[in-house]
Structure 1
Amino acid sequence: MNIVIGSKNPTKINAVSNIFKEANVASLDVPSRVSAQPFSDEETREGAINRAMQCALSTKGFIGIGLEGGVMYVGDRLYLCNWGALVTEDEKVFTASGARIVLPSEIDEALRTGKELGLIMDNYAKRQEVRKKEGAIGIFTNDLITREEMFTHVVKLLRGQWEYWNNVEK
């Protein structure tokens, strides 16, 4: 099995490698074709699909996976959200979403200035490369859930759907 993930971010690559241990996993830096900071469930999902589709079409015989982090409002509260997409060789699309937690109001205010969450989190947590390590989810759950774990859960949901439909179609 061959998989291309649409990111060079180690948390995303590790999430795919954790769930597809038997696969040859390659990574490709592809654009999400959405805002640098997705601001809705729909936009975050679209970014994941765009990444996965580009990967699936990049190399014959490969499955594409896209993982995208974003934020979304529920009422007047801003939540962290994440989406994943798996696209097969014949362009079947599977999507899944994962954990959501409310973000502090100062994060919401900073995002409204046009900055990306990853950069805001570096300042907020006084750390470097938060997006490539624990992620905002790690900061705000006291490292009980890391960004890699959050995306690993999404990849499990993708793999489970893909395997189910492969078995149903046989």
Structure 2
Amino acid sequence: MVVVGSTNPAKLAPVRLVFAEVFPGLEVHGVEVPSGVPEQPIGYEETLLGAQNRAKAALAQPGATWGLGLEAGVEFNALGAWLFNVAVILRADGRWGVARGGSVLLPPAVAERVRAGEELGQVMDDLVGQKGTKRGVGAVGILTLSRLERVEFWRHTLELALPPFLRPELYPQGMMGL
């Protein structure tokens, strides 16, 4: 059984799509687990840690053979603030995969509010006058006029975390663990 450390439909849907194609027959369930990082992780290290914590907590659930942690973060550089995501896939046999997905430049007014400590989902809800956008199209869908929605944004990242499971001969068991 695949357990995802979230009940967010925009995170569960891509896991179901990818696993149905690559590992058919596995059930996918979501559970609420703590990320152990702020609600809006800042920087790669904090975002990766949140995804790792979610994956470990998911794998610890009864009956889980796979644990997945999906975490969206924001990082700042000279060009502005960037939304990106990280997927961590853990398997009960000790194998793991991790990937950082694409990124999108946030509008300056959004970046300013996130830098001040607000969570991106709430800022995007305010921007478009809707509630719960992070459980749907997400910031990426809002910014791209739904040319790329959150489900596809996550799907891309999940696909990039799969090589250790698709080509295990290239990824030794002795790799540093997560």
What SS class does the counterpart of residue 4 from structure 1 fall into?
strand
Q: Which amino acid aligns with 2:14?
A: A
Report what 2:176 is aligned to: none
1:48 aligns with 2:47: no
Q: Which moved more, 1:59-68 or 1:19-28?
A: 59-68
- The 8 Å contact of residues 39 and 71 in structure 1, kept in 2 or not, is answered as yes
Unaligned ranges ≥5, structure 2: 174-178
Q: d(CA) in 2 for partners of 1:133 and 1:61?
A: 26
Report what 1:165 is aligned to: 168
1:106 aligns with 2:109: yes
What SS class does the counterpart of residue 156 from structure 1 fall into?
helix
Distance 1:4 1:166, change over 3 A: farther
Report what 1:71 is aligned to: 74
Aligned equivalent of 2:62, options 30, 51, 59? 59
Distance 1:61 1:10, change over 3 A: closer
Unaligned ranges ≥5, structure 1: none
Q: d(CA) in 1 for partners of 2:64 and 2:127?
A: 42
Q: 1:7-18 maps to which residues of 2 (within 5 A)?
A: 7-18=6-17
Q: Which moved more, 1:156-165 or 1:62-71?
A: 156-165
Q: d(CA) in 2 for partners of 1:128 and 1:18?
A: 25
Q: d(CA) in 2 for partners of 1:76 and 1:38?
A: 19
Give the superposed CA RMSD. 1.8
- The 8 Å contact of residues 57 and 89 in structure 1, kept in 2 or not, is answered as no
Quote how far apart the aligned CAs of 1:11 are. Answer: 0.6
Quote how far apart the aligned CAs of 1:35 are. Answer: 1.1
TM-score of the two chains, using structure 1 as the length reference: 0.92
Report what 2:2 is aligned to: 3
Cα deviations across residues 124-154 of structure 1 (Å, max 9, x unaligned)? Answer: 1122211011100011111111011100111
TM-score of the two chains, using structure 2 as the length reference: 0.88
Q: Which amino acid aligns with 1:18?
A: L
Cα deviations across residues 44-98 of structure 1 (Å, max 9, x unaligned)? Answer: 1111111001111223451000100110113251100100000110333321011
What SS class does the counterpart of residue 117 from structure 2 fall into?
coil
Report what 1:38 is aligned to: 41
| Moved >4 Å (runs of 4+) | 166-170
Q: d(CA) in 2 for partners of 1:61 and 1:85?
A: 15
- The 8 Å contact of residues 60 and 89 in structure 1, kept in 2 or not, is answered as no
Q: 1:77-96 maps to which residues of 2 (within 5 A)?
A: 77-96=80-99
Q: Identity, % of aligned pairs?
A: 31
Q: d(CA) in 2 for partners of 1:114 and 1:141?
A: 24
For these two proteins, the number of residue pairs brought into alignment is 169
- The 8 Å contact of residues 4 and 12 in structure 2, kept in 1 or not, is answered as yes
- The 8 Å contact of residues 56 and 91 in structure 1, kept in 2 or not, is answered as no
Report what 2:125 is aligned to: 122
